[in-house]
Every structure is written in C-alpha cells, then in structure tokens.
Chain A
Amino acid sequence: MSNEINLSKKRVEKLGYETKIARILQIISIVFLFVTLVISIVFFLLNRSLPLEALTTQQNSLLAQIKPYDNTIVSLIHIHDRITNIQAISRSRITFTKYIDDIKNLVPSSVSIDSLAIDDKKNLTLSISSGQLLSLDEFVGNLISQMDKKQLIQKITISGLNNSNTTYQLSITGSLL
C-alpha cells in the first residue's frame, strides 16, 4: 500500500521505464500479429492457386485415353523381352563349325581324325591316327604352335598313344579359346 503513494523521483522513473517496456511489447505483439496474418493469408491463397488438381485431372484423362492401347503396350513389352532373349541366345552360341574347320586344317594329309568332340565349355577331345609317328608329331607341333600364338587352343594334354599293327593312335584332350 505504501508503494501506491510513493511519488519519489526514483519511483516515477521506474514507472516510465515499465511503460516504455509495455509499449515496446505492444508494438512487437502487433507486428507479430500482422506478420502472422499476412503470411498465413498469402500462403493460404498461394496453396489454393496451385494447379495441382487440374494437373491430376489432366493426367487421369490422358491415362484414360491410353487405356484402350493396353494390348499394344503389352505387345511392345513382349517384343523387347523376346528380342533381348533371342539376342542373348545368339551371342552365347559357340561357333563349332569354325573350331572344327580350324582343327581339320591343322591335320596333315597322312593323319585321319577318328573322333572329335567339343562340348559347351569348349573342352576338346580328339583322337587321331596315322601310319607315321612323324605325321602325328607334326600335328601336335601345329597345335602347340597355335597355343603359342594364343590362337584356337588354350591348353592340350596328350592322354594316350597306342600302336596297333602299323597304325599309331593319339588321344588328345584340351580346351579351346
């Protein structure tokens, strides 16, 4: 109660300071209110003005127009899928005819091929025979020469040499490049 009747200079200064603070707070609160209102209204209107719904409608309309072409689209997908598969099969083919031709070209005329087999891993099994050991040696030399040149043959192994009467039979295994 004693504060209410205190009219000293100090008291008057304190009251002036409090009024100033209150005025500043009032101004800040009004600015806050104004800014909040303006931003809210602006963004509300901006959000309302965005053509998102119109675009969605346009998209749905286009999808509806494309719908009758579903079978064509599915056919196109099947076409691409089958092209990819057929090309992959074509690429994976081993050119057996070329391999056999190349091996035959290495065989001297006095040597005959008894059996020749090439599998999908390019493994070679070969059996040749001749009346002359020198011819068989020439053939093996040709194979080694190809291997040295890194052509046709990757590795060879002589798995057997048999002699019956006057015929020599040579068995070779190996792998092709």
Chain B
Amino acid sequence: MSTIGLDQTTLQILYNRYKKYLISILIILVCLLIIFLFVIPQVQSFFLSGQKITEKKQTIAILEQNLQVLSGLNGSSVIDNNLTTLVSALPPNKDFVGIITAITQAAIGAGVSVKDYNFTVGNLIEEKPSSEQLSLLLNLTISGNWENAKNFITILNQQFPISDISNVSVTGNDYSLKAAFYYKPFSQVTYDANLPLTLVSQKDQTFIDTLSAQQNSPSGQ
C-alpha cells in the first residue's frame, strides 16, 4: 500500500495547476448552497403564504358576515325570547315545581283526578354539570275514563318541562304512567369566532313559536 504525502509544496503545485478551475467551482458550490439553504425555503414560504392569504381572506369574509348578522340582531329580543322558551321547555336543572304544575294543568285540562305520584328529586343542582340531557322519573296514577286519560297524556306531552311517557298501564279506570321529565344543564360553550354563525332557521323558528304557543296556553291546547 502506497502513501501520498501532501506537504505544502505539493499543495502549492496542485493549487497552481487547478487554480483556473477552483474559483469557478467554488462559486458554483456556494450558489448551490445558497439555493438549497435560502432560495428554496423562500420559494416554499412564498407559496405557503399564498395559501395562508387565501384562507385568511375566507376567514375575513366569514367574520364580516358574522359581524353583519350580529349587528342586525343587536337590540332585538328574538334571541332572548327564543332562549327563554327553550329553557322553559328544557330547563337547566330539576324543575320540580314546573313538573307539579305540568301535572296539575294536565289533570285540570283533561278532567282526571291524580291519585298519587312519586318521584325522587335528589340534588337540585348537578354537582358535575353534564352536557347530556338528564331526566327525572315520575310514577303517576290518574283516574278517569279512557278519553280523559288520553287527553291527560296529550296535554302532559305539551307541558313544560318537556316529558316523555315510557310506560302506560291500565287497570279499570286507573291509569299508571311512568314519565321522564327532562332537563339539561348549560354546558361550557366553546366556539370558534372564525366559523360561520348559524342563525335560527325558519323551520326551527316555527318549532320555537309552536313551543311558545304551548307555553302560553295553560292547558297546552
């Protein structure tokens, strides 16, 4: 195995021999280095910024639209009224007074006598707010003929808080019902202001108006 000694004289000779190429090659290498380290990232950044600008413009358009909608709602009581109606229908906590009122109204409206009812109220305020709808179960016995009992069920379905009858049992003129009265605690709301704001649709407004009409009619009819 032979060894090559690169002493100063040899390097001097090599430099003199190739110096006319060396500067050009160095310039090319530096240029390549600049292209890879600076130019390409800058080009990428330019195209990425272009994409960001498109997104920002879309977001701004949404924000302008949201602002216009919200400015239009300013001073209007529609939102508050709608929320009040919906909160009456689906209260944030156990509205046991509302439940008793609903049963009484339904019984008066239908002309039945309420024999007995029982339910466990428990804590009036949920210790751990839940985002799920919850219900309070009630067992109830009413007495009357079938037509009156039917009216009672119909009226109770239209009373607030909103309820759902899950069992019906008939023995003679006694009707035992199991009803669930629903409530739903207000959940922690997180929203992204950059997303389009959804207003209450005409269909939903009609639904709320129907609920409001039911609320204002004591017998639910």
Chain A residues at the B interface, C-beta cutoff of 8 Å: 18-19, 21-22, 25-26, 28-30, 32-33, 35-36, 39-40, 43-44, 46-47, 50-52, 55-56, 58-59, 62-63, 65-66, 69, 72-83, 85-90, 92-94, 96-97, 100-101, 104, 113-120
Contacts and interface: CB of A to CB of B under 8 A. Distances in A.
A32 B27 contact: yes
Interface string B195-208: 00111100010011
B49 A52 contact: yes
Given A66-B67, A82-B86, A115-B169, A29 B46 contact: no
A25 B20 CA distance: 9
Given A46-B46, A115-B169, A117-B169, A73 B24 contact: no
Q: Is the interface of A mostly helix, strand, loop or mixed?
A: helix
Contacts of B49: 47, 50, 52
Interface in B31-81: 31-32, 34-35, 38-39, 42-43, 45-46, 49-50, 52-53, 56-57, 59-60, 63-64, 66-67, 70, 73-74, 79-80
Which of A51, A75, A97 is the most central at the interface, judged by chain B CB atoms within 10 Å of its CB? A97
Q: Is the interface of B mostly helix, strand, loop or mixed?
A: helix
A7 B199 CA distance: 94
Interface of B: 20-21, 23-25, 27-28, 31-32, 34-35, 38-39, 42-43, 45-46, 49-50, 52-53, 56-57, 59-60, 63-64, 66-67, 70, 73-74, 79-80, 82-83, 86-87, 89-90, 133, 146, 150, 153-154, 157, 162, 164-172, 178, 182, 184, 186-187, 189, 191, 193-194, 197-200, 204, 207-208, 211
Contacts, number: 186
Contacts of A25: 21, 24-25, 28
B57 A83 contact: no
B63 A97 contact: no
A59 B25 contact: no
Nearest to A58: B60
A117 B171 CA distance: 9
A86 B42 contact: no
Contacts of A50: 46, 49-50, 53
Nearest to A25: B24
A50 to B, nearest CB: 5
A101 B168 CA distance: 13
B70 A36 contact: no
Contact of A75 (B80, B89, B168): B80
A36 B89 CA distance: 70
